[in-house]
Structure 1
């Protein structure tokens, strides 16, 4: 278990900086509101998967679906979703509560809000990290599988008259998609039936055992319902480890999960708002959206818009999410025969 004593000076400085930041009015101080934005994106991914554009109007609808998500809201929603996923780890929750019993509840709350990396260093942090990586990998694969479909579609519809025609008013179309991204998804973007499934108490579900539970590999498929299931999301996860260049997102998820384990979300709302606003993830999603606008600006034919949708509106976003993990080379390396007992003594 990590100690609190080593941080006395540096943490105090960081806390002052965090407090100053927390005084800035927030657009989203409610964890559930943040998660709704991420759920709305996955709802649109489900719709994009279920419906194949067969005419110009249908393609316009698909472009609006992928473009109407605000980068900040999408970032906060993903981090918040990960936080509630980590709060389903029995080992991690117990580790947080053990630390609170040893150091004091207020001390642990202070620690995770000052240095988010503290939470994953607690006992049970490895289990929480594994759950977060598996969840991110599944969500990434789900989005990228739909991206594959739209990029293949872009090639297959080139022979159709409506798709290989010059897209009229392309500049206005790009500006429309930009405006949708600034405004964010409207309230009706998420079906009302989904909302009850987005609220989960600490240790109330078991995503490791039930892939359709909150945080599980097939949660978003189960939310969609019916026969629309992305098979790639149900395949065994590839062994991964945290990507050090993006591990801050995992730290932030775990820090908020620690606050949830201590029933400290409501009393530390400004800290929660700050923690779920991960700058690296936000920058990655912003770049994906900028690439979408640039791709569409260069597009001439309608089928090219379908390609831009798949590559930047979906694939790049999925890559941003999956980039928190990377293949674990050590886990993938075969065990030498000698180590298995098959070699000479």
Structure 2
């Protein structure tokens, strides 16, 4: 009897287990299905994450690394002629177009550090159809990005960050240019070699031209840091700033690239768009003209003190000038306004950019006229 009861009990337990297993195999319950549906709807109401491709970070890394290297050119009294030539080689080792594109790419990454701008753009990215329309409009007309909410906060970050670097470079330039005069003084112990004609002048000119033609490669560490900052919105530790329109074409393009990233449409699939937006004719023209003026200056320069002038005027000062012109609405002249061939900027007058305190310099006709007709 007990055996029969035990047998029936085991059979019931087995049946219950079979029913339980069958219910599990039949799929999720209605409650589970409803929870999944609600989760999917919630996800659909969120914008895609920020996405900016590695190419933008690489371009920005080239600009940041070169600017950091250029800022190590400090006058402090050049001890010998070779130290001047070393500074010239360091300062001329950039491709003008790459540096211009890198500046705009860097501006885009700076813009993505603005939570206000990112949130302002992303509010329109929830609906996929609307997001695609916005992407198309930005690509067709980059200036559209400058009208989006928070653009003034992002533009302020760009202008303030790049502006600080420009002011630092301008201060270096003025110190170097002053040294070109100081070294000529009879009380300066460097005067004897500073006024001596440079041997093999053509070699140093050709060296500058060769270095200018070498394509620049991004630092992997710098590129990785900027890529992470672009996609996370943090890491550059910038002071908040705000700047209203009008904006320069370079700032507009930086905002456009950043807007694509905030819409989740700046990843690897969008490299064609982001690459095209880094090209800006005014910025490229300024960098190219700076190089031409440097070559002309070196062609005319004979003693070492004139090479110091070329270094200060057409490397450090022109870098400050071109980066200022790219981010500030103002009128800028590449090189000395009194020099033959100096090129006026193409942007209209609006505000005056901050200048480092100028150092008075005596009138030295030879140095001031370096950019006239080159000597053979």
Instruction: Give TM-score scaled by structure 2 length.
Output: 0.66
1:174 equivalent in alignment to 2:205 = yes
Are 2:98 and 2:216, in contact at CA under 8 Å, matched by a contact in 1? no
Match of 2:324 in 1: 322
Q: What do residues 169-209 of structure 1 show as CA deviations (whole Å, max 9, x unaligned)?
A: 2122112101111114466xx6x7645433313453276xx
> Could you tell me how far 1:311 is from its partner in structure 2?
0.7
Q: 1:40 aligns with which of 65, 68, 73?
A: 65
> Could you tell me how far 1:82 is from its partner in structure 2?
0.3
Match of 2:262 in 1: 261
In structure 1, the gaps of 5 or more residues are 1-27, 208-212, 218-235, 331-345
1:249 equivalent in alignment to 2:250 = yes
> Could you tell me how far 1:48 is from its partner in structure 2?
0.9
CA distance in 2, matches of 1:92, 1:55: 50
CA distance in 2, matches of 1:294, 1:176: 14
Match of 1:307 in 2: 309
| SS of the residue 2:79 aligns to | coil
Match of 1:223 in 2: none
Q: 1:105 aligns with which of 122, 131, 153?
A: 131
Matches within 5 A, 1:193-342: 194-199=222-227, 200-202=229-231, 204-205=233-234, 213=237, 216=238, 247-265=248-266, 266-323=268-325, 324-326=327-329
Q: What do residues 135-171 of structure 1 show as CA deviations (whole Å, max 9, x unaligned)?
A: 2211211211111121122122224222221111212
> Could you tell me how far 1:241 is from its partner in structure 2?
5.9
Q: 1:87 aligns with which of 94, 102, 112?
A: 112
CA distance in 2, matches of 1:157, 1:150: 10
Are 1:67 and 1:177, in contact at CA under 8 Å, matched by a contact in 2? yes
> Could you tell me how far 1:29 is from its partner in structure 2?
8.0
Are 2:61 and 2:222, in contact at CA under 8 Å, matched by a contact in 1? no
- The count of corresponding residues between Structure 1 and Structure 2 is 272
Q: What do residues 90-114 of structure 1 show as CA deviations (whole Å, max 9, x unaligned)?
A: 1111121122236622111111111
CA distance in 1, matches of 2:77, 2:217: 23
Are 1:288 and 1:312, in contact at CA under 8 Å, matched by a contact in 2? yes
> Could you tell me how far 1:310 is from its partner in structure 2?
0.8
Distance 1:241 1:141, change over 3 A: farther
Are 2:104 and 2:253, in contact at CA under 8 Å, matched by a contact in 1? yes
Distance 1:197 1:112, change over 3 A: same
* Larger Rg over CA atoms: 2
CA distance in 2, matches of 1:322, 1:242: 16
In structure 2, the gaps of 5 or more residues are 1-52, 331-349, 353-376
- Calculate the aligned-residue CA RMSD, in Å: 2.8
Distance 1:293 1:50, change over 3 A: closer
